[in-house]
Amino acid sequence: MATTQETKPDLVTLTIDGKSARVPKGTLVIEAARQVGVMVPHFCYHPKLTPDANCRMCLVEIEKMPRLQTSCSTPVAEGMVVKSAKSDQVEAARKSVLDFILANHPLDCPVCDQGGRCDLQDFSHEYTATKSQFQELKRVFQKEYFSPLIETQMNRCVQCLRCVRYCDQVMDVKALAPVGRGTLTEIKAFGTHELDCEFCGGCVQICPVGAITSRMSMYEFRPWMLKRADSICGYCGDGCQITYQTKNNSLIEVSSTHGSGRNNGDLCARGYFGYHVSEHPERIQTPLIRQGETFQPAIWEEALEQVGQTLLAIKQQHGPDAIAGLITGRCTNEDLYVFQKFMRGVVGTNQIDSSVRYGHLNGVRALQRVQGTHRWTVSFDDIVEADVLLLVGTNVTETNPITGLKIKEAVKRKGAKLITIEALQPAVGTISNIVNLAHHHFGVRADGFQGAVLALMKSVLETRGMAEDVKASATAYGNDLMAQLSGLAWSRLENRTGYSLSDYGHAASTFCQGKKVVILVGQDVLRASGGYGMTMNLLDLLLLTGKLSNPGCGVAPLAEENNDQGAFEMGAVSDVLPGGFSIDHAESRTAVSKHWGRSIPDSSGGALPQFLERMQSGAIKALLVVGENPLGSLPPVSGIEQALEGLQLLVCQELFMTETARKAHVVLPVCSSAEKEGTFTNTEGHVQAVRKAVEPVGDGRPDWEIFSALSIIMGDSMEYGDVKEIGKEIRNVLPGIRPLGPTPIPSKPDAMVVCGYVGGEYRRDLDSRYRLIDEQPDFSDELLVSLRQSLFHSGKFSLKADGLLKVESEGKLYVHPDEAARRNIGEGDQVDLCNDRGTIRAKVGLRERIPMGMAVFPEHFDQEMRGLLSYAVDPETQVPYYKLAQARIVKV
Amino acid sequence: MNVKEWIKTLTFYEILLGMKATLSHLLKYRPITMQYPHEKKSLPSNYRGMLALLRYDDGTEKCVGCDLCEAACPSRVIRVVSAEVPGEPTKRYSKEYYMDMTRCLFCGLCVKACPVDALGMTQEFEWAVYDKRQLHLNKEQLLAIGDRAYPVREKRLEFQHPNVAYFNVGFKNIPEKDIQ
């Protein structure tokens, strides 16, 4: 959006079927025709893909051109006269093209899942002669294998190669290939193995016929039976638009339309195949109250009364600060807002925290401190239009696949330069690897990002120096930072990262050439020790090169959960008010309390790590847990088990009986995101509407209703009629939260805050940020185990999704094949991982993308693995770091 | 009044003329009322009676569970639950098939809509029941009606026409065809 069109594109005028069209130069005839409402039939053309012109369906007559032309590969020219529907010659050509295609297409429309929304069906009705001239037998392909998710029925294929091109050009996975020649061309995976890919479902969506269909919904529906609800995916922070398709109140499939949402119709495996989670049979149906060791089903009134009265009693006896709350960033903005209002206004404590604390807070806090915004200053469109992209610890394909697609588009189609600092190695695998596209790649271990970031900064500033205006206006800041960087010896940095001065030099010169530079910071950085400092350093880098305030430039921390960003903005963090203001800021506190008609406690409630201490010491008596599972995500070293044991009241609002819910006194069933209305804010800060697709399972209720009901029981009523009312209140309290719209308007850095930062605020932790952390003693027999997100799962939540479990159902310890060979381990071997915290057993998987000396374990299956993890808390942002462990590996 | 008319009056000629048809029936007695259920009328071949599901000659169900009958039905008689045949991937069938005959108009649109001629209208019409729920028929009942109403069965679709390469066949069950 920030990209302003500098030069107005040349417009060309042409006539299509008598209609005059004015389109930019270079537009294809088929696109121009679409714009004036002339539909040219086509199979192989798709606006996302390069034209292939192999199906010949889009033939049109163009005056002064000798033969019929394929409109999908012919660019417009001034004065062109195109005839599509009004030409007999074209009509005849289309008829014969369809005759050729139908010569081999089995007429099994009745059993085909595409029947009813099939391009071939539609065009056949429009163009075919009812009788074919072909007498020969149709080709029949024998099937070799079945995929658990994506079913190919090659007899139906029209060989348009959309799927092959999509897989290569958009996804960069290259899992599909045309095998064979002529009409016997078959689309399959390379080699004889079965399809093993990212399972993004893109080929299913893009296939114009029923050759590639989803097995998850196979034969369960006909298109005309489906009811649609446009909503937002509830897994990662990318905030993809998805359309739930339901039949008789059950979810049948999910799709996304080209041109809609921030994802432009592209989805990942989680979005496309992960929707079964809300229909899982293990969903909690009714409120449950603990009686001894078991739970008894209860009615809402009973459960709420019990929670409300106990909370009141605790509040009266021990004060409001004996109650704390923890909410997940998977809730809607409305839920999060009502939750924090309930805790602050009704209970009277600031002791609330949310999953944004697990890492995203590092990024948001850094943005707030340097540029005064809590949102990105760029949008996905700026990523696509960027000249230079710097990825730091993103592992973007697996954590934020759709952001990954934007990067791929920028690099592959728009020629952006990509610099990556990742705990990944370039290697071809079954899923795409972003570092394969990198122009400059620095592969480090998961604990070595800081060295590479500092080295790159040093190189940029030493070779190019800082920007003139920074030198002039913020001399002290510039000099201090230069001094810090020159204090780092090149020899140390080279040793630490394994890359030489000249490697950094090349990357630095690429970086400096960029006019639009976007730096993406991912989970590997934000969730590991020093994450906050590194994000600050990267912001410093942009500041020093004078790019921070340029349009199209910015640092973009990637959120893991779908509404982490919203959780921060709604104030579901102890020291943050709605709108991202600090709780210490008296003015905003007054403003918000005026809106609420309730006073807001002024003491900061501390963060999750402090809650744990206070729960252990007995200062906190009651904990409300909303969709969070601290027992399942925090390592035992954090003391979470002991903390929960001492509680008088543990209330869980959950979809499933999680580890934490099993310890609860009262469990309340809630709605999944497919069952409620609201809004999600995605990682770029775009607020999007979530719509209800199915009725809640059992007695489930939206979370905000529960807080509202509790507030009435506690005698301080906070009533809302529906979600829209909460939305109105949010917009009143936070005029800054922008209205729903198709595209976000990125924030701009606040000049006052930037001035304040360069004017001296930066000094506070300068030394610690620019001090290279002490090197871990390198034991050659030890591995650095990193818990990382897998492409096929999101938190523990997706472990209930049937489709995703079919792709990945167990956690494996992934290591590089050379590393495994060095240790004499093979694929599938059982190994023991041990360190001084314990020993656990794991199965080994080999992946060439994992750097040497490192092992990766998917965090979703980490139940036992958590026993090995180290635990530290960031002094500045109170983010608990627990994703890394140093362990010996012993073959069993 | 002439003699001719006088004689007609005397002999009640008009009355006899009027009673001619009646009196002829007095002599030639042929009953019209059909003694149902002891006697039954022969129905035209296109009579639209009870619906039935049919089978191929090898005993397999014709129905592929395409839901087109459900879509065609104007009074929502039919409900189809289709699925993949267990053990025969990619083959489609109707796992469940229900017809609520209390609503049926016997319009025959479902039969017309069926792409594989799996539905047929039988000559059965004696479906009066004491409990309406008995008219809610499931797949087995409908197949049984078909079995008794259509003793002559068709060949499998792919053997009927040389250019039907295959149709709704499970994995590795694509038939060998001996067609020149």
Q: Percent of chain B scored above 90 by pLDDT? A: 62
Instruction: Label residue A558 by pLDDT band (50, 70, 90).
Output: very high
Indicate whether A107 pLDDT > 90. no
pLDDT in tens, A655-686: 999 999 999 999 999 999 999 999 999 999 99
How confident is the model over A188-206, as a mean pLDDT? Answer: 88
pLDDT in tens, A407-455: 999 999 999 999 999 999 999 988 999 999 999 999 998 888 999 999 9
Range name among A255-259, A489-493, B27-31, B169-173 with the lowest pLDDT average: B169-173
Residues of A in contact with B84 (CB under 8 A): 218-219
CATH topology of domain A782-891: Barwin-like endoglucanases (2.40.40)
Q: Which of B90, B115, B165 sits opposite A137 (nearest CB)?
A: B165
Are residues A138 and B168, on separate chains, in Cβ contact within 8 Å? no
Residue B63 distance to chain A (closest CA, Å) = 10
Q: What share of chain B is helix, strand, coil (3-state, %, to 5)?
A: 30, 15, 55
Q: Which of A107, A138, A224 sits opposite B71 (nearest CB)?
A: A224
pLDDT in tens, A844-855: 999 999 999 899
CA distances from A42 to A31, A103, B17 (A): 11, 17, 81
Q: Which helix (H) or strand (E) holds A352?
A: strand A352-354
Residue A20 distance to chain B (closest CA, Å) = 41
State the residue for tokens 């190695």: A425
Yes or no: domain A288-355+563-733 corresponds to CATH 3.40.190.10? no
Are residues B115 and A109, on separate chains, in Cβ contact within 8 Å? yes
pLDDT in tens, A803-843: 999 999 999 999 999 999 999 999 999 999 999 899 999 99
How confident is the model over A169-174, as a mean pLDDT? Answer: 93
Range name among A505-514, A586-595, A695-704, A728-737 with the lowest pLDDT average: A728-737
How confident is the model over A12-32, as a mean pLDDT? Answer: 94
Q: Which of A111, A135, A137 sits opposite B168 (nearest CB)?
A: A111
Are residues A151 and B68, on separate chains, in Cβ contact within 8 Å? no
The CATH number that domain A109-122+134-279 falls under is 3.30.70.20
pLDDT in tens, A597-646: 999 998 777 899 999 999 999 999 999 999 999 998 899 999 999 999 98
The pLDDT score that the predictor gives to residue A777 is 63
Residue B129 distance to chain A (closest CA, Å) = 31
- Nearest Cα neighbor of A101 from A138, A140, A51 is A138
pLDDT in tens, A785-804: 999 999 999 988 899 999 99
- Coil, helix or strand for A341? helix
pLDDT in tens, A130-150: 778 887 888 888 877 778 899
CA distances from B33 to A395, A536, B27, B41 (A): 88, 101, 18, 11
DSSP category for residue A117: S
Report the distance separating Cα A762 and Cα A477, nearest Å: 8
When the pLDDT of each residue in chain A is averaged and rounded to a whole number, the result is 91
Report the distance separating Cα A291 and Cα A274, nearest Å: 34
Copy the structure tokens of residue A249.
Answer: 């109140």
How confident is the model over A764-775, as a mean pLDDT? Answer: 86
- Does the beta carbon of B125 lie under 8 angstroms from any beta carbon of chain A? no
- Does the beta carbon of B169 lie under 8 angstroms from any beta carbon of chain A? no
CA distances from A450 to A396, A622, A785 (A): 18, 39, 18
Crossing angle of helices A531-544 and A449-464, in 10° steps, is 10
Instruction: Label residue B174 by pLDDT band (50, 70, 90).
Output: low
Report the distance separating Cα A702 and Cα A34, nearest Å: 43
Q: What share of chain A is helix, strand, coil (3-state, %, to 5)?
A: 35, 20, 45
Q: Which of B65, B90, B165 sits opposite A153 (nearest CB)?
A: B90
Copy the structure tokens of residue B179.
Answer: 């067609």
Sign of CA dihedral A412, A416, A419, A422: negative
Q: Which amino acid is at A28?
A: L
Q: Which of A109, A138, A222 sits opposite B165 (nearest CB)?
A: A138
Q: Considering the domain A361-559+762-769, what is its CATH architecture?
A: 3-Layer(aba) Sandwich (3.40)
> Of A219, A220, A250, which to mutate for an interface test with B (greatest number of B Cβ within 10 Å)?
A219
The pLDDT score that the predictor gives to residue A309 is 96
Size of interface A-B (CB pairs under 8 A): 61
Tell me the pairing of strands A838-846 and A830-835.
antiparallel
pLDDT in tens, A456-510: 999 999 988 888 888 888 899 999 999 999 999 999 999 888 999 999 999 999 9
Sign of CA dihedral B1, B4, B5, B9: positive
How confident is the model over A235-239, as a mean pLDDT? Answer: 93
pLDDT in tens, B23-64: 888 888 888 888 999 998 889 999 999 999 999 999 999 999
Q: Which of B84, B92, B174 sits opposite A140 (nearest CB)?
A: B174
Report the distance separating Cα A771 and Cα A873, nearest Å: 18
Q: Considering the domain A16-86, what is its CATH architecture?
A: Roll (3.10)
The pLDDT score that the predictor gives to residue A1 is 41
- Greatest alpha-carbon span in chain B: 100
Q: Which of B71, B115, B171 sits opposite A146 (nearest CB)?
A: B171
Which residues 8-37 of B are in CB contact (within 8 Å) with A?
Answer: none
Residues 6 or more apart in contact with residue B21 via CB below 8 angstroms: none
Expressed in angstroms, the distance from the first to the final Cα of chain B is: 92
- Coil, helix or strand for A401? helix
Q: Which of A108, A138, A219 sits opposite B84 (nearest CB)?
A: A219
State the residue for tokens 């921070």: A548
- Complex ipTM value: 0.83
Yes or no: domain B51-157 corresponds to CATH 3.90.1170.50? no
Residues of A in contact with B64 (CB under 8 A): 110-111
Q: Provide CATH 3.30.70.3270 ranges for chain B.
A: 51-157
The pLDDT score that the predictor gives to residue A137 is 80
Copy the structure tokens of residue A718.
Answer: 């906070």
Residues of B in contact with A138 (CB under 8 A): 163, 165
Are residues A110 and B68, on separate chains, in Cβ contact within 8 Å? yes
**DSSP states of A667-716:** EEEB--TTS--EEEE-TTS-EEEE---SPPSTT-B-HHHHHHHHHHHTT-
pLDDT in tens, A292-335: 999 999 999 999 999 999 999 999 999 999 999 999 999 999 99
The pLDDT score that the predictor gives to residue A5 is 47
Find the residue in A nearest to B69 (Cα).
Answer: A110
Bridge partners of A22? Answer: A13
Report the distance separating Cα A747 and Cα A98, nearest Å: 51
Are residues B82 and A219, on separate chains, in Cβ contact within 8 Å? yes
Report the distance separating Cα A686 and Cα A680, nearest Å: 8
Residues of B in contact with A224 (CB under 8 A): 71
Report the distance separating Cα A146 and Cα A165, nearest Å: 22
Instruction: Label residue A4 by pLDDT band (50, 70, 90).
Output: very low
How confident is the model over A741-754, as a mean pLDDT? Answer: 87
Residue A120 distance to chain B (closest CA, Å) = 18
Are residues B172 and A151, on separate chains, in Cβ contact within 8 Å? no
Q: Percent of chain A scored above 90 by pLDDT? A: 77
Residue A525 distance to chain B (closest CA, Å) = 45
Quick count: other Cβ atoms within 10 Å of Cβ A624?
Answer: 28
**DSSP states of B48-111:** --SEEE-BBTTS-B------HHHHH-TT--EEEEEEEPTTSTT-EEEEEEEEETTS-----HHH
Residues of A in contact with B167 (CB under 8 A): 106-108, 111
